Amino acid sequence: MRTLTALLGVALLVGIASWAYRVNYETRDAERRVAELRRAIAEERAAIVVLRAEWAYLNRPDRLRDLAERHFDVLGLMPLDSEHFREADDLPWPEDEALPIFEGPWIEVAQ
């Protein structure tokens, strides 16, 4: 009985030790991966900053105006004017279609 307990204890010890060993290495791997991801995130953020700056640069009012003028024949964009505003009442409403009227045959319903 005593021997059995001892053997079980030793087996448990070996089991736990190998588990701890594995967890230790897994943790290190995870940390390395986290560091890699962090660097990747930092790179992505730097890229986002650059892209945002580029987006703002490409959308600068001077450039948009030049483009609108150059492609006037296709786009026909003009500065907004008070004439471009309309009240909802000015819009033409769709013609009222005559509703279908049911004309029979009627069925007698017994009381």
Partner 1 sequence: MIRTPLRPLARVLSARAAGADPDLIEAEARAVRLRARQRAERLRAERRLYLLAATFFLAFCVVGTRMGLVAASPPVERGSSYRHAQIANQRADILDAEGRILATNLATHSLYAQTPDLVDPEAAALNLARIFPDLDAPTLARAFRNRKFVWIRPTLSPEERQAVHDLGEPGLMFGPREVRLYPNGRIAAHVLGGTRFGRQGVHAAEVLGTAGVELTYDAFLRDARQEGAPLRLSLDLSVQAAVERVLAGGMALMNAKGAAAVLMEAGTGRIVALVSLPDFDPNSRPARGTALFNRAAQGVYEVGSTLKILTAAVALEEGTARPDTLVDTKGPLIVDGFRIRDFRDNGPWLTLRDVIVKSSNIGTSHLAEMFGTDAQKDYLARLGLTEATPLELPEARRAKPLLPKRWNRLATMTVSYGHGIAVTPVHVAAAYASLVNGGRKVTPTLLLEPQPLGPRVVSETTSAELRDMLRGVVTDGSATLANVAGYPVGGKTGTADKPARGGYAEDRVLATFAAVFPAEAPAYVLVVSLDEPEDRTGEEPRRTAGWTAAPVAGEIIRRIAPLMNLAPVRKED
DSSP line for 26-71: HHHHHHHHHHHHHHHHHHHHHHHHHHHHHHHHHT-HHHHHHHHHHT
Q: Is 53 in the site for partner 1 (CB under 8 A)?
A: yes
70 in contact with partner 1 (CB under 8 A):
no
Taking the C-alpha atoms of residue 60 and residue 39, their distance in angstroms, rounded to an integer, is 32
Candidates 14-22, 81-89, 91-99, 102-110 — which segment interacts with partner 1 by CB under 8 A? 81-89
Interface with partner 1, residue 20, by CB under 8 A? no
User: Prior bond to 105 cis, omega within 30?
Assistant: yes
| CA atoms of 5 and 11, how far apart (whole Å) | 10
Which C-beta is closer to partner 1: that of 7 or that of 17?
A: 17
- Least gap, CB of 36 to partner 1 (angstroms): 12
Interface positions with partner 1 (CB under 8 A): 31, 34, 38, 41-42, 45-46, 49-50, 52-53, 56-57, 59-62, 65, 79-85, 87
